[in-house]
Amino acid sequence: MRDIKVKASSKSPHEEEEVQISSSSSVKSTPEIEKKYVHRVYDAIAPHFSSTRFAKWPKVAAFLESLPSGSVILDAGCGNGKYLGLNPNCFFIGCDISNPLIKICSEKGQEVLVADAVNLPYREGFGDSAISIAVLHHLSTENRRKKAIEELVRVVKPGGFVLITVWAAEQEDKTLLTKWTPLSPKYVEEWVGPGSPMNSPRVRNNPFFGLESIPETEVSAKEQKVENSLESIPEIEESAREQKAESIPEEKDEKSVEESLKAMKMNQQEYFVPWHLPYHRAEVSGASASALASGLAKKDDRKGAVVYNRYYHVFSEGELERLAFGAGNAVIVDRFYDKSNWCIVLQKAAASNQD
């Protein structure tokens, strides 16, 4: 990953190094929204989640079965380990942020450990190939998603392959979107915390300003360029939209507001996706009682379940390729859409072509 450096004649090399470290650390620091709506949720639902995750996606299976005999394969975000050992001629190693899911894998005799996708605890060139199946969409900022891709490339050998799949905004079953909850502005403050420039009235009242723009370094409001969450909008048009948002008078007509909100909804990529944990499964896990008490989950007596919300950033077409472009000296050798997922295969440059 290329760390951000602040170049100024008044800074000493030592001060510049500190800025570099701070920037890198901020990407690795887990935002509260992930801790609460990803980590804590999967820890609570792990046994039930695992019981529903057994079918292998054919294209993932085909990728793993195509790898040479004796390959070391890393599954980053392995969940309950359903892909570990799929190719009996290869050696699999898995990791996941959820300790309960890793415990399930360990009880199966799989080689696993608890680890963060943006900070994999493996040396460079550790494995022959790597997979990341339905993981990146749980990372809440673009820089963290980029870093996770760079980490996957880093830990494979030159010439090695990396398969990545993420949920697509373009779902085959459009009715699913009606069952998901778009993130509302009230979660912005929870995400970035008090005192952030994100809490300024200008940002809060701008309907085109989304969660994707949340800064990961301590930068003042004046220094921070406000980015647009509608990722398909080019930079020039984005700037025009920002200016337009600033110039809207107090008495702006209802039609323009309605159009703005409609545009925001059409380009929505941040969602809470519910997980219904049946009451009889919730009784097994003490985490559910704690989740209900803290407000992390709620009861649905009609469905007889404790409902948890999981954070997702769904990917628009071309977004995954854009993030992966140039990551760790790797090239995209395949891309496809499968089961409402965008998928890519990267190949790390051969040693002779590396700097």
Nearest to 38 by CA among 125, 98, 100: 98
Give the per-residue pLDDT at 71. Answer: 98
Higher pLDDT, 290 or 209: 290
Q: Looking at residue 308, what DSSP letter applies?
A: E
Q: pLDDT band at residue 222, thresholds of 50, 70 and 90?
A: very low
Check which CATH number belongs to the domain holding 147 and give it: 3.40.50.150
Give the per-residue pLDDT at 23. Answer: 44
Query: What gap in Å lies between CA 321 and CA 309, rounded to an integer?
Result: 28
* CB-based burial label for 282 (10 Å; 0-12, 13-18, 19+): buried
Q: Which residues pair with 196 in a beta bridge?
A: none
* Both tokens assigned to 39: 């980590």
Please state the rounded mean pLDDT for residues 222-247: 34
pLDDT tens digits for 72-94? Answer: 999 999 999 999 999 999 999 99
**Which amino acid does the sequence have at 158?**
P
Report yes or no on 160 lying in a domain: yes
Q: pLDDT band at residue 352, thresholds of 50, 70 and 90?
A: low
Q: Which residues pair with 112 in a beta bridge?
A: 94
Give the per-residue pLDDT at 284. Answer: 67
Q: pLDDT band at residue 317, thresholds of 50, 70 and 90?
A: very high
Please state the rounded mean pLDDT for residues 257-277: 72
Runs of H (alpha helix) within the chain: 13-28, 32-34, 40-52, 58-65, 99-107, 142-154, 186-192, 201-204, 235-247, 254-266, 279-282, 286-294, 319-324
Structural domain of 341: 25-175+315-348
Percent of the chain scored above 70 by pLDDT? 68
User: Following CA atoms 288, 290, 295, 301 in sequence, which dihedral angle do they give, to the nearest 10 degrees?
Assistant: 40
* Both tokens assigned to 60: 């993932």
* Both tokens assigned to 25: 């650390």
Give the per-residue pLDDT at 205. Answer: 47
| Cβ–Cβ < 8 Å for 205, 257 | no
* Both tokens assigned to 139: 């990372």
Indicate whether 257 pLDDT > 70: no
Asked whether the CA dihedral 276, 281, 287, 288 is positive or negative, the reply is positive
User: Following CA atoms 259, 263, 264, 265 in sequence, which dihedral angle do they give, to the nearest 10 degrees?
Assistant: 100
Query: What gap in Å lies between CA 254 and CA 232, rounded to an integer?
Result: 25
Nearest to 126 by CA among 352, 348, 355: 348
Least confident interval from 190-194, 210-214, 274-278: 210-214
Q: pLDDT band at residue 286, thresholds of 50, 70 and 90?
A: confident
Query: What gap in Å lies between CA 33 and CA 39, rounded to an integer?
Result: 9
Query: What gap in Å lies between CA 347 and CA 174, rounded to an integer?
Result: 33
The beta strand positions in 77-118, using DSSP E, are 91-96, 112-114
pLDDT tens digits for 110-130? Answer: 999 999 999 999 999 999 999
Report yes or no on 205 lying in a domain: no
Total domains in the fold of the chain: 1
Give the per-residue pLDDT at 191. Answer: 54
Q: pLDDT band at residue 326, thresholds of 50, 70 and 90?
A: confident
Give the per-residue pLDDT at 300. Answer: 95
| Cβ–Cβ < 8 Å for 182, 210 | no
Higher pLDDT, 350 or 245: 350
Higher pLDDT, 160 or 243: 160
Placement of tokens 């007509």 in the chain: 253
Q: Residue 159 — left, alpha, or beta (φ > 0 → left; ψ -120 to 50 → alpha)?
A: left
Mean model confidence pLDDT for the chain: 78
Percent of the chain scored above 90 by pLDDT? 59
pLDDT tens digits for 157-189? Answer: 999 999 999 999 999 998 998 899 998 655 554
Between strands 330-338 and 341-348, the pairing is antiparallel
Q: pLDDT band at residue 17, thresholds of 50, 70 and 90?
A: very low
Placement of tokens 């790797």 in the chain: 330
The beta strand positions in 91-243, using DSSP E, are 91-96, 112-114, 127-133, 156-167, 181-182
Report yes or no on 16 lying in a domain: no
pLDDT tens digits for 98-108? Answer: 999 999 999 99
Indicate whether 218 pLDDT > 50: no
Q: pLDDT band at residue 253, thresholds of 50, 70 and 90?
A: low
Give the per-residue pLDDT at 328. Answer: 81
Indicate whether 194 pLDDT > 80: no
Give the per-residue pLDDT at 162. Answer: 98
Least confident interval from 19-28, 37-46, 105-114, 133-142: 19-28
| Cβ–Cβ < 8 Å for 229, 212 | yes
| Cβ–Cβ < 8 Å for 38, 310 | yes
